[in-house]
Structure 1
Amino acid sequence: MKTRNLVLTGIMAALLTICAWISIPTAVPFTLQTMGVFLAVGLLGGKLGSLAVGVYLLLGAVGLPVFSHFTGGIGALVGTTGGYLLGFLLIALVMWAAEALLGKGPLVYLCSAVVGLAVCYLFGSVWYLYLYSAGGASADMLTVLGWCVFPFIVPDLIKLALAFALSRRLAPALSRQRT
């Protein structure tokens, strides 16, 4: 891997950390992480964007406080909201797959981001429901969606639009040759 790509991947992993620290506490914390994921793929492409998300999750898994509320450790990934954290990687992978199959372009980016977000919501909600129910509590999928997804749809679409606009504006600067 080129040094430049390594540095950009690290910067995007750091940006994801900052996006996690900007949070409003709720059952599933409201953060800017999805915007960071969309921005990572928008600026670095699917491969490096996915790598940046993977690095971010790995840093959290080993205990660095990179997740919301300055948490980290494997417990954050295997807890009730861990499915949404792992879902961030699914967003990036869906966007990378779409990019590989359909090429780069605004419509591919936007559609794949929405599909990736839906996959993240589904994965995270099934994970949440399983662990919540395993703890002896009772809930159904509609209840979990009401807690963990419905309140986030509009904000996440706004974050997607902002990430798209920022990516379109900043990507040309990143693609210029540096000497």
Structure 2
Amino acid sequence: MQKISTKTIVMTGMMTAVLAVLSQIQIPMPSGVPVTMQTFGVALCACVLGWKMGTASVAVYLLLGSFGVPVFAGLSGGLGTITGATGGFLIGFLPMALLTGLFTPSKNKAGTILCSAAGLAICHLLGALQFMLLMKMGFVESLMLVSVPYLLKDVISVVAAFVVGAAVRKALNAANILTYA
């Protein structure tokens, strides 16, 4: 079993904190699903830390929130948020982080684009499905209400996370704070 360095643990915690802060930047919407910076934050965790620790960072965020720490959008937290109408998106952050970070760092742009798109699609699918079930509506209606209006913003968020993440990774590597095997 490979040991995890103190630097890695600290960076994972720091990125969890960044995600929690970015989650508070929100614009309420009539659907009840706010426009937030969470998608950017999840993708940034994956872009900076890679798939293993990026996913771990998001998992810590979700655990903190599920225990009631107000880290989710609107300073919310608790199992009620995860099991509520927008909870599917929160659950979808795990596969999104995993897939977005899978090729990070990598020169395989096609793999990066495909995996990131798949991660975002899974996140939206889980979000729309949970919303559909809890609000007792059709799948297409749910998609049109809580997924489609946010897709362009989320695609831009993921692309921006790759740009910002590459710069952060470069600076951290230069300072010998973050290294990849």
How high is the TM-score relative to the length of structure 1?
Answer: 0.89
Residues 22 and 68, structure 1, Cα contact 8 Å, conserved in 2: yes
Matched, 1:41 2:46: yes
Match of 2:13 among 10, 13, 25: 10
Aligned residue number for residue 172 of structure 1:
170
Matched, 1:149 2:147: yes
- Structure 1 consecutive aligned stretches of length 4 or more whose deviation exceeds 6 Å: none
Runs of at least 5 residues in structure 2 that lack an aligned partner in the other structure? none
Q: 1:105: how far off?
A: 2.9
Q: 1:76: how far off?
A: 0.4
Give the residue type in structure 2 aligned to 1:56: Y
Q: How many residues align?
A: 170
Residues 46 and 98, structure 2, Cα contact 8 Å, conserved in 1: no
Matched, 1:73 2:73: no
Residues 47 and 100, structure 2, Cα contact 8 Å, conserved in 1: no
Aligned residue number for residue 96 of structure 2:
91
Match of 2:60 among 43, 55, 75: 55
Residues 20 and 61, structure 2, Cα contact 8 Å, conserved in 1: yes
Match of 1:158 among 141, 156, 159: 156
Task: Compare the two structures and name the one with the higher helix fraction.
Answer: 1
Aligned residue number for residue 120 of structure 2:
117
Q: Quick one: distance in 2 between partners of 1:127 and 1:76?
A: 12
Q: 1:90: how far off?
A: 1.4
Q: 1:106: how far off?
A: 5.4
Residues 62 and 72, structure 1, Cα contact 8 Å, conserved in 2: yes
How high is the TM-score relative to the length of structure 2?
Answer: 0.88
Task: Tell me how large the CA RMSD over aligned residues is.
Answer: 1.6
Aligned residue number for residue 106 of structure 2:
104
Residues 58 and 93, structure 2, Cα contact 8 Å, conserved in 1: yes
Give the residue type in structure 2 aligned to 1:10: G
Q: 1:104: how far off?
A: 2.5
Residues 100 and 119, structure 2, Cα contact 8 Å, conserved in 1: yes
Residues 42 and 58, structure 2, Cα contact 8 Å, conserved in 1: yes
Aligned residue number for residue 31 of structure 1:
36
Q: Quick one: distance in 1 between partners of 2:107 and 2:42?
A: 17
My pick for the range that moved more, 161-170 or 69-78, is: 161-170
Q: Quick one: distance in 2 between partners of 1:162 and 1:120?
A: 18
Aligned residue number for residue 138 of structure 2:
140
Residues 105-127 of structure 1 show CA distances to partners (whole Å, capped at 9, x for unaligned) of 35133321111000111111111
Runs of at least 5 residues in structure 1 that lack an aligned partner in the other structure? 134-138
